[in-house]
Amino acid sequence: MKAQNPFETSFGEPDGPFLLSVTRNVISTYLQTRRTAIPASLLSDPRFKQKMGCFMTLKKDDSEKSLRGCIGFPEPVYEVCMALTHAGIAAATEDPRFTPVKSAEMEHLLLEISLLTKPVEISLTDQRDLPTKIEVGKDGLVLRWSFGTGLLLPQVATEYDWSAEDFLCNLSMKAGAPPDQWLVPGTQVYRFRAQVFQENSPGGKVSMD
């Protein structure tokens, strides 16, 4: 029997418009009513009952695609229907770096959903070999050390044109550690893949990376 690829999911490009439309409605409804409800359309599809990591990113529709909020769940602890709902609302209202999104802003924001596969630890004898095991632009990374955890989505490395080593250094700092923490024995680094669905215009056409 063929072994299951740990980086495969049951979602594909045709799911993007539906996922983003439903999540946009969830966020808009919450901003207008302060009510949270998982849409029935999500509950009716068994794929949304599986547990996956999920991140929601909100960006301004400007030339820089400026970040407006990003929150999610790196581990597959919530069913997709719940993760989408709560990550969407949290990205709009709970990101400590930004003021909460106002309802009127939604028509000027781009939504991006990242569905994450389960992180798989990269086990090596020599930590210095880590960059050779990372596929920049496809792999997302999680780093765990004694005092914290950090995660970077795969698209971040592409946006900043990082090398694998740059990616690891920035991941270390995201975890609250020195940039060379990934080289320290005992530091755990995991990789995962993300299916990224993003709006090309607010509420408009959707593409998948």
Name the nearest CA neighbour of 191 among 124, 118, 96, 98.
Answer: 118
Calpha distance 57→72 (Å, rounded): 9
DSSP 128-181: GGGGGG--TTTEEEEEEETTEEEEE-HHHHHHTT--HHHHHHHHHHHTTS-TTG
The contacts found for 180-186 with CB under 8 angstroms, 24 or more apart, are 181/143, 181/145, 182/127, 182/130, 182/143, 183/127, 183/128, 183/130, 184/127, 184/145, 185/127, 186/145, 186/146
Taking 90 as the threshold, does the pLDDT of residue 95 lie above it?
yes
Q: Record the tokens describing residue 201, joined without a space.
A: 């215009």
Contact in structure between 89 and 70 (CB atoms under 8 Å): no
Q: What is the mean pLDDT of residues 124-129?
A: 93
Calpha distance 188→165 (Å, rounded): 15
For the domain made up of 120-192, give the CATH fold: Dna Ligase; domain 1 (3.30.1490)
> For residue range 135-156, what is the model confidence (pLDDT) as tens digits?
999 999 999 999 999 999 999 9
> For residue range 12-50, what is the model confidence (pLDDT) as tens digits?
999 999 999 999 999 999 999 999 988 888 888 899 999
Residues 6+ apart with CB under 8 A from 51: 76, 77, 78, 79, 80, 83
Task: Say what the pTM is.
Answer: 0.85
DSSP-based three-state secondary structure for 127: helix
User: pLDDT grade, residue 3 (50/70/90)?
Assistant: very low
pLDDT for res 4: 56
Q: Record the tokens describing residue 55, joined without a space.
A: 């991140």
Domain range 14-116, CATH class: alpha beta
Q: Record the tokens describing residue 3, joined without a space.
A: 């072994």
pLDDT for res 142: 96
Write down the domain spans for the chain.
14-116, 120-192
Of the CA atoms within 13 Å of residue 183, those in its CB half-sphere come to 9
pLDDT for res 82: 94
> For residue range 170-196, what is the model confidence (pLDDT) as tens digits?
999 999 999 999 999 999 999 999 999
